[in-house]
Chain A
Amino acid sequence: MALLDVRNLSVDYLTDDGTPLRAVEDVSFSLKQGRSLGLVGESGCGKTTAMLGVLRLLPAEGRIVSGEVRYRGVDLLRLSEQEMRKHRWNKIAIVFQGAMNALNPVRTIGDQIAEPIMLHGAATDKKAASERVGELLEMVGITPEMARQYPHQYSGGMRQRAMTAMALACSPDILIADEPTTALDVMIQAQILDLFQHLQKQLGLSIILVTHDLGVVAEICDDVLVMYGGRTAEYASVDTIYNEPLHPYTQRLMQAFPDIDGPALKTSLASIPGYPPPLDALPPGCRFEPRCHRKSDVCAVESPPLVAVKPGHYVACHFAEG
């Protein structure tokens, strides 16, 4: 049985006058113990919204319209807020985009890491909690004495590692990492990714990695879910996605990613012309149709269903058979 099973999740955002805008539509995926899933797509494709939906942390305007989020068979969307709070961090932890903003600037790092520990009763007293904090910091390569410092006294990479330490505080089963390496330089990125892989092996953690960096996905993930305009474009194992991408969007994404080992860059780096569709002007047919290089008449009127072209390889394209 999958650890986390998301079925047909749809999320709306309500505008000021109450019109719902579909930000995530019919997204399904499953995550097994110790595996990692990459969630890729351009900015504004609904990646973060889908993850906030899983944790029921959507902003006030957000509504989960339909779907199921089954964690070990329990539908998280049906739990009371009280029960949901017990699952957050304890079972599913999240590292937000931009660690600098996710830390409270007026409280020490140690104090903030201790908060979920105390909250979920992982330590009974302050002394045990602070020992655990030291342990966690050490795990991510920060000396325990630095727990007494404030976020502004940490560098960007240290803050990111501190956030990771905090995410591991209650030994969760699942770690959602929302663009954990954006805004960090390449060296620090590599360190953080190494850390993730190391922790995954050591703790048997399942990771959902939200990113638009395909290199990172190739390095860490087992499966990849490509999102476009709030929908699933393609969902398959990482090898399939890299070697035989079927959705035109995935193909274009791959071309837009420089290959260092391949032949020298004779041609300029490919980019996908245009932008992802705004939520209030979604194309009537396939979401990718306006930017697609393979489109035909049917694409503009009919939205392609997500079909399994092979076991474990799902594509939403009228021409997916390849």
Chain B
Amino acid sequence: MEQFREIWRTFRRRPIGIVGALTLLSVVFVAIFAPWLAPYDPDEKIDVEPGDLLAPPDAGHLLGRDDAGKDVLSQLIYGARVSLTVGFVASFMSMFIGTTVGLVAGYFGGRIGNALMRVVDFLMVIPDLPLMLVIISLWGRGLWKIILVIGLLGWTYTARLVRSQVLSIKERQFILRARAIGAGSLRIIARHVFPQVLPLILAEAVLDISGAIIAESSLSFLGLGDPTLVSWGMMLNFAFERAISRMAWWFLLPPGFAIIWVSLGLVLMGSTLEEIVNPRLKSHHLFDPRRMVALVAGESASQRISE
């Protein structure tokens, strides 16, 4: 409970963090309440007239219509669901795998560590996007397949990052002290090493979420998205193929801005999160009011001078 209050206090002191959180929460809100917020149902069968195709924005369709005469705003709102799901689930997967591999490889080292790092090297030298393209085109298209592919291929960088940090942390003296206490390896990793790499992982996760959203967008943009769902990448794909030649900016720009909006919110939030999990960034012992004897004395001295 005390910890939650602490987190809340730190957050309140950082307006940037609040802006970031609100930016992200607004999208989460939109994604959750999409059916109530969207003016139209994207699956709804509609009768279109030739004039409706790529119609510019008007009162009934705030962001205009796409090449099939459907409301762009509604697609954008429903697209938030797909993009956020992919972003959060895939990056959670890759963070989990990457952190575990990094901790094990860094802490135990030796043969296990070497073997794991060779796997990482192997996956790293293969460019991600072409590999995803190959896997998806062989395996078939579908939301969960996309999530799995992004999640299972995206952990290598995290693993390296965590491993290098662990290599340095495990040589620190408090690790030796933890061993002297009689703690076993698992306990040391969980209680002493992991908290040290947590800020790094959070900062990385924030980037990774937007990375996963962009990866999904790229796949969809290249025509390998889940055909039954409209994501922001899918919208970009359609817009790029069919609308750009007609100067239909209202179809192209919104999904692009939506991706930027989410990424921005995550990055702004990331810096504040880092501060919360890293107590060293919070305060120094000399700034503790209970220990500010010298400063208080100095203050009264300066007051006397001014009087």
Residue ranges of A at the interface with B (Cβ–Cβ < 8 Å): 55, 57, 85-90, 93-94, 96, 98, 101-107, 115-116, 119-120, 149-150, 152-155
The segment from B131-139, B180-188, B216-224, B258-266 found at the interface with A is B180-188
Q: Within the assembled complex, what's the spacing in Å between the Cα atoms of A55 and B182?
A: 10
- For A89, list chain B residues within 8 Å (CB): 180-182
* A198–B242 CA distance with the chains assembled, in angstroms: 85
Report whether A94 and B182 are in contact in the complex, using a CB–CB cutoff of 8 Å: no
Q: Which of B117-125, B151-159, B280-288 sits within the interface?
A: B280-288
Inter-chain contacts of B195 with A (CB < 8 A): 104, 106-107
Given contacts A102-B173, A102-B176, A115-B178, 10 further A-B contacts (CB under 8 A): A85-B184, A96-B176, A101-B174, A104-B195, A104-B196, A105-B280, A115-B191, A119-B183, A120-B182, A149-B288
How far, in whole Å, are A106 and B195 apart by their CA atoms in the complex? 7
| Contact count band on B | 20 to 34
| Pairs across A and B, CB under 8 Å, 14 listed | A88-B179, A88-B181, A89-B181, A93-B180, A94-B180, A101-B174, A102-B177, A106-B278, A107-B191, A119-B181, A119-B182, A119-B183, A153-B284, A154-B285
Give every chain A residue within 8 A of B280 (Cβ-Cβ).
105-106, 150, 152
Q: Does B192 contact A (CB under 8 A)?
A: yes
In chain B between 185 and 211, which residues have their CB closer than 8 angstroms to a CB of chain A? Answer: 187, 191-192, 195-196
How far apart are the CA atoms of A8 and B215 in the complex, in Å?
63
Does residue B50 face the partner (Cβ distance < 8 Å to A)?
Answer: no
Interface set of B (CB-CB < 8 Å, partner A):
172-174, 176-184, 187, 191-192, 195-196, 277-280, 283-285, 288
With a cutoff of 8 Å between Cβ atoms, the chain B residues found around residue A152 in the complex are: 279-280, 284-285
State the majority secondary structure of interface residues on A: loop
| Bound CA–CA A149/B288 (angstroms) | 10
Q: From the candidates B196, B283, B284, name the one contacting A106 in the complex (CB within 8 A).
A: B196
Specify which chain B residues have a CB less than 8 angstroms from the CB of A94 in the assembled complex. 177, 180
Is the beta-carbon distance between B180 and A88 smaller than 8 angstroms?
yes
Q: Is the CB of B180 within 8 A of A57?
A: yes
Taken together as a complex, chains A and B put the C-alpha atoms of A63 and B245 apart, in Å, by 74
With CB as the reference atom, state the residue of chain A lying closest to B177.
A102
B196 — which chain A residues lie within 8 A by C-beta? 104, 106
A284 CB → nearest B CB, Å: 34
